[in-house]
Chains A and B, each alone.
Chain A
Amino acid sequence: MMRKVTFPHMGESYRTFKMLLNDLGNEVVLPPRPSRKTLNLGVQYAPEFACFPLKILMGTYLETIEKGANVLVTSGGVGPCRAGLYAELHKRILHDMGHPVEMIVFEPPRLYPLNFIRNVYKLNPKRLSIKSIIECIKRAWRKLQALDNAEKATHVVRPRELTPGTTTKTYKKVLEWIDAAYTMDEIIEAEKAALEEIYKIPQDPERLVLKVGIVGEIYVLLEPASNLEIEETLGNLGVEVERSMFLTGWTRDNTWKETVEGMTVKDAAMPYLPELIGGHGRDSIGNTVLYAKRNFDGVIQLAPFTCIPEIVAKTILTSVSRDYNIPVLTFFLDEQTGKAGMTTRLEAFVDLMKRKKLLRKTGKILRPASAL
């Protein structure tokens, strides 16, 4: 039987994984962007008490199996977060349903180097040499960086754009440029052109733009379809977002060199939470501290409903918010698709931050009803 490989959908990263798996000689079934159909399938076949990412992935696997996929590549995980067991759970559910899929689970290579080598071998039907495999991974890595950099640029430009919607439109266009690039030179060139195109968008330099850091669980951070496109919504409300996690940053061996004052996220979280509690709970706390130190206007925490690490973090963020005088807003995400509740909270949050910022900048109190 012909092997057809697929993997979870996480933002735009599928463009890279498609290229890498193709290079190694695999036929790839592209995972579709999570939609209502994905959700319906996921909710139907996943355990009710499981978190949102498990359900979306379940739906994605079923959609891709429908298109002929029989090899699923995903990540495992260490530590107490239950997501580390999801690959095994998915596999058993799919087998029970009569889909004899093969599951290839990548554990952190730093801790499980043999698992990594064995898995790469399984995904290398072309029998490329180690040297060529390394070359392919390097190129894929560069493409992933290019995609992340283009996304970061939209976060800066969107809140300043003169014509609403231009950034999103441009972003869609330049993604295709990066997608089409193949050699290292092409990727670098496409990235350069993409960034130029995004920064060329007419902007209003006078606008009062707020800066908000986004922290939380990795899947709901990286997949806009799972967080009701919160970054785009914030951009349209005049907020520049900085997300604490990108796929390239997360994969980069957990060394966070770029943070201010030489502090790592872990160090920043230490006074509040000295233990690893699984998932990204400690990162949420540490990143909030770092954003506060960098004088951000606010922080938004995104968490799947019932996510224990983020629930613990939310409780502790109350103290961080008080100690550093930075507003923090938490959203628990689940299968609800109604945006009204989120919009109301975001609008009020933006109102609050704007008033605070004006007060800090000009010493002027903008009373809610200043005309009274």
Chain B
Amino acid sequence: MKAYLGIDVGSVSTNIVVQDEAGTILAGLYLRTKGRPVETIQSGLKEIKQSLPGDIEICGVGTTGSGRYLAGVMVGADVIKNEITAHAVAATFFVPAVQTVFEIGGQDSKIIIIRNGVVTDFAMNTVCAAGTGSFLDQQAARLGIPIHEFGKLALQSTNPVRIAGRCTVFAESDMIHKQQMGHPLKDIINGLCEALVRNYLNNVGKGKEILPPVIFQGGVAANAGIKAAFERALGMEVQIPPHHDVIGAVGAALLAREEMALNNKTTNFKGFFISDLTYRTSSFECDGCPNSCEIAEIYEEDRVIGRWGARCPRWDIIQEEKN
């Protein structure tokens, strides 16, 4: 059976999906990147291979996320696309009428405005981590609550307390202050959810025309407290699409299928065996000019397959993304 592989290597999670020709998800995987993208990609491929039927033939591979170039050279990607395009593609696939996409991941949060199936505007958080999954993760760890319980706890709250949302430093000190005053945890967590939503709508969503259907995806969409806070703030329904946590990978797989269909070529996919190869990364400081760029390299066995970090073409061996 023909299938397409999509890999989304994000700051917090690495997601892998395999889709058939019709877009049905045959297998999906959500893994924590834990700062080790290479190992995570390898173990993820191994795991997903085991859950696939034997007659699967991978006919195209797409990568996305902040680690898309790394993943791209490792597996032999046919298309390497930024996560905004990948998310928009997946959103219109699941909800064709979608007009607004909220996406909150580990490091980024973004809003994508879609009209008639075409992206007409987008925005991404710029210099601030407030309102992203990493901060929620960190607070959940501080409070000793598993992240998947976090949202459910917020839903039990009847009286959210006000938490400052503009900056994680302010938010955390506000939370600690309220906790020491004796406010129940569920109300503090609900307050945090409302603060994040407020910050998102004021910062990322500023000036954008938010029209229904609105869909909410990315890792944070698993948090029921945030979804409820969005619905309260907007006064409209917010849908969570299927596979919301691996949606970037779904988009990458759809883009791979499109790429192969349009250009009628054979895949560059190296095969699942790469999870048994040895990959090594290293870095050095270039001495070519006072810029002293920090160059990172990745080796497959003994061969350099990728280099990044240079501000000039001196160390280029990687092909740029083809548009």
Binding site for B on A (CB under 8 A): 32-33, 35-38, 164-165, 228-229, 236-238, 305, 315, 318-319, 321-322, 327, 330-332, 334, 337, 339-340, 343-345, 347-352, 354-356, 359, 365-372
B92 touching A368 by the CB < 8 A rule? yes
Q: Which residues of A contact B323 (CB under 8 A)?
A: 237-238, 347, 350-351, 354
B119 touching A351 by the CB < 8 A rule? yes
Please pick, from B258, B292, B320, the residue contacting A370 in the complex, using a CB distance under 8 A: B258
Enumerate the 6 nearest inter-chain pairs by beta-carbon distance, A residue then B residue, closest first. Answer: A318-B207, A348-B84, A35-B290, A371-B261, A347-B82, A35-B291
Please pick, from A319, A340, A349, the residue contacting B207 in the complex, using a CB distance under 8 A: A319
Q: Which residues of A contact B257 (CB under 8 A)?
A: 369, 371
B127 touching A348 by the CB < 8 A rule? no
Q: Which residues of B contact A345 (CB under 8 A)?
A: 82, 84, 124
A305 touching B127 by the CB < 8 A rule? yes
Please pick, from B66, B82, B117, B289, the residue contacting A367 in the complex, using a CB distance under 8 A: B117
Assuming the contacts A305-B127, A371-B257, A372-B23, asked whether A344 and B84 have C-beta atoms less than 8 A apart, the reply is yes
Assuming the contacts A32-B290, A330-B126, A355-B119, asked whether A369 and B84 have C-beta atoms less than 8 A apart, the reply is no
Assuming the contacts A347-B321, A350-B323, A351-B85, asked whether A372 and B93 have C-beta atoms less than 8 A apart, the reply is yes
B122 touching A348 by the CB < 8 A rule? yes
Assuming the contacts A36-B292, A348-B84, asked whether A365 and B117 have C-beta atoms less than 8 A apart, the reply is yes
Q: Which residue of A lies closest to B117 (CB)?
A: A367
B118 touching A368 by the CB < 8 A rule? yes
- In angstroms, how far is the closest chain B Cβ from the Cβ of A296? 16
Find residues 72-122 in chain B having any chain A CB closer than 8 Å to their own CB. 81-85, 88-89, 92-93, 116-122
Assuming the contacts A327-B121, A344-B66, A369-B92, asked whether A229 and B85 have C-beta atoms less than 8 A apart, the reply is no
Q: How far is the CA of A247 from the CA of B92 in the complex (A)?
A: 45
Question: Can you list 30 contacts pairing A with B, beta carbon distance less than 8 Å?
Answer: A33-B289, A35-B289, A37-B292, A318-B207, A327-B121, A331-B126, A332-B127, A334-B127, A337-B311, A339-B311, A340-B66, A345-B82, A345-B84, A347-B81, A347-B85, A348-B84, A348-B119, A349-B122, A351-B82, A351-B323, A352-B121, A356-B118, A356-B120, A368-B85, A368-B117, A369-B257, A371-B257, A371-B258, A372-B254, A372-B258
Binding site for A on B (CB under 8 A): 23, 66, 81-85, 88-89, 92-93, 116-122, 124, 126-127, 206-207, 209, 254-255, 257-258, 261-262, 289-293, 311, 313, 320-321, 323
A365 touching B118 by the CB < 8 A rule? yes
Assuming the contacts A368-B85, A371-B257, asked whether A35 and B119 have C-beta atoms less than 8 A apart, the reply is no
Q: How far is the CA of A345 from the CA of B110 in the complex (A)?
A: 11
Q: Which residues of B contact A371 (CB under 8 A)?
A: 257-258, 261-262
- In angstroms, how far is the closest chain B Cβ from the Cβ of A84? 25
Q: Which residues of B contact A369 (CB under 8 A)?
A: 89, 92-93, 254-255, 257-258
Q: Which residues of B contact A236 (CB under 8 A)?
A: 320
Q: Which residues of A contact B209 (CB under 8 A)?
A: 322
Please pick, from A38, A344, A349, A367, the residue contacting B92 in the complex, using a CB distance under 8 A: A367
Q: Which residues of B contact A340 (CB under 8 A)?
A: 66
Q: How far is the CA of A164 from the CA of B316 in the complex (A)?
A: 12
Q: How far is the CA of A164 from the CA of B318 in the complex (A)?
A: 13
Q: Which residue of B lies closest to A368 (CB)?
A: B89
Q: Which residues of A contact B126 (CB under 8 A)?
A: 330-332
Q: Which residues of B contact A356 (CB under 8 A)?
A: 118, 120
Known: A229-B311, A349-B122, A368-B119. 19 other contacts (CB 8 A): A36-B292, A36-B293, A164-B320, A237-B323, A238-B323, A305-B127, A321-B121, A327-B121, A330-B126, A340-B66, A345-B84, A348-B85, A348-B119, A350-B323, A351-B84, A365-B116, A365-B117, A368-B117, A372-B93
Q: Which residues of B contact A344 (CB under 8 A)?
A: 66, 82-84, 124
Q: How far is the CA of A354 from the CA of B311 in the complex (A)?
A: 26
- In angstroms, how far is the closest chain B Cβ from the Cβ of A95? 26
- In angstroms, how far is the closest chain B Cβ from the Cβ of A335? 11
Q: Which residues of B contact A355 (CB under 8 A)?
A: 118-119
Q: Which residues of A contact B89 (CB under 8 A)?
A: 368-369
Q: How far is the CA of A369 from the CA of B88 in the complex (A)?
A: 9
